Amino acid sequence: MVVHREESEESLNQLFRALADGTRRDILARSITETPSVSELAAHYEMSFAAVQKHVAVLERAGLVRKRAKGREQLVSADRVRLRRASALLDFYESVWRRRVAQLDDVLLPKED
Amino acid sequence: MPVTSVTKDPEALTLTLVADFPVPQRRLWEAWADPRQLERFWGPPSAPATFTHHDFRVGGRAEYFLTLPGGEKWSGAWKFTAVSPIDSFAADDGEANAEDGDMPMSMSFAFEATPTGSRMVSVTRFSSVEAMEETTPGMEAGLRAAMPQLDEVLAG
């Protein structure tokens, strides 16, 4: 149950660093709906291929995208499994918070009986 | 229905909730500052919370346990990283025995007066998907009775 504890602080920092950049958020968005190659991605930005490659590497280290080789191309895809897991858990936490807020409302406004 | 909006970002692993209450900002703050009131809404009805400690200042800790339906207890703790009465506070959240700085979740709360009462904006931030899954077992045990959809979430 506590297997991943030791990496949580650093992975949090990595995640926020990765998402703090507009180009990287854009790369992530593009790699959710399709699986672009690094050179296809590079065509969208006014920066060198190497710079785009570095952005992809930051996203990869944060666990947000995966890269796989296809011939001489590097294809980039968002880690959908991770995003799906995150999304399902956030749904769960939403229900926890909705319940808490309903209970807080009862504390703030005691019902007459 | 006091929940005004919920925004979830699975990429950044955050959940932002906005809720409006028809009471003054100070009254809303008191509900969080007073452990006897806090324990009336933190845990689900099936697993009520008992706060044994609530040192509501920067660096202070809150410690609590949930009494699960079988009588078993699940312990949790917050470490307050910011406290600004009656406007905001922030805390790291985790199991009671977690080392400092090793908590898988952080929460921040902002409170403000509105024309109809007060508004609470809460942001929960997880350090990783694994951290979210880690915190779920404690919640799962407490919430299972009240939350039939949980099995589906954990299976997915």
CATH of the domain at A14: 1.10.10.10
Range of the domain at A19: 9-79
Would you give the DSSP letter of residue B55? -
Of residues B28 and A3, more confidence is placed in B28
Closest residue in chain A to residue B34, using alpha carbons only: A107
Q: What pLDDT, on a 0 to 100 scale, did the predictor assign at position A78?
A: 84
Number of domains composing chain A: 1
Establish if A22 belongs to a structural domain.
yes
Residues of B in contact with A101 (CB under 8 A): 2-3, 17, 19, 120
pLDDT band at B35 (very low <50, low <70, confident <90, very high): very high
Given this model, what pLDDT does residue B138 score?
Answer: 55
Per-residue pLDDT at B142 exceeds 70: no
Task: Determine the pLDDT at residue B140.
Answer: 53
ipTM > 0.90, yes or no: no
**Phi, psi for residue B47 in degrees, rounded to 5:** -145, 75
pLDDT band for position A14 (cuts 50, 70, 90): confident
- Model confidence pLDDT, tens digit, residues A23-81: 998 898 888 878 899 999 999 999 999 999 999 999 888 878 888 888 888 899 888 77
Query: Residue B94: closest CA among chain A residues belongs to which residue?
Result: A5
- Chain A residues near residue B131 by CB distance under 8 angstroms: 4-5, 8
> Tokens 């959908």 correspond to what residue?
A80
Does residue B24 carry a pLDDT above 50? yes
In a domain, A4, yes or no: no
Whether A25 is in a domain gets the answer yes
Find the domain containing B64 and state its range: 3-155
pLDDT > 90 fraction of chain B, expressed in percent and rounded: 54
Q: How confident is the model at residue B129 (pLDDT cuts 50, 70, 90)?
A: confident
Does the model's pTM come out above 0.90? no
Q: Evaluate whether residue A108 is within a structural domain.
A: no
| Confidence (pLDDT) at B148 | 38
HEC string for chain B: CCEEEEEEECCCCEEEEEEEECCCHHHHHHHHHCHHHHCCCCCCCCCCEEEEEECCCCCCEEEEEEECCCCCEEEEEEEEEEEECCCEEEEEEEECCCCCCCCCEEEEEEEEEECCEEEEEEEEEECCHHHHHHHHHHHHHHHCCCCCCHHHHHHC
Query: What local confidence, expressed as pLDDT, does residue A112 receive?
Result: 64
The reply to whether residue B21 touches residue A104, judged by beta carbons under 8 angstroms, is yes
CATH code of the domain in which B112 resides:
3.30.530.20
Quick one: pLDDT band at residue B153, thresholds 50, 70, 90?
A: very low
Q: How many domains does chain B have?
A: 1
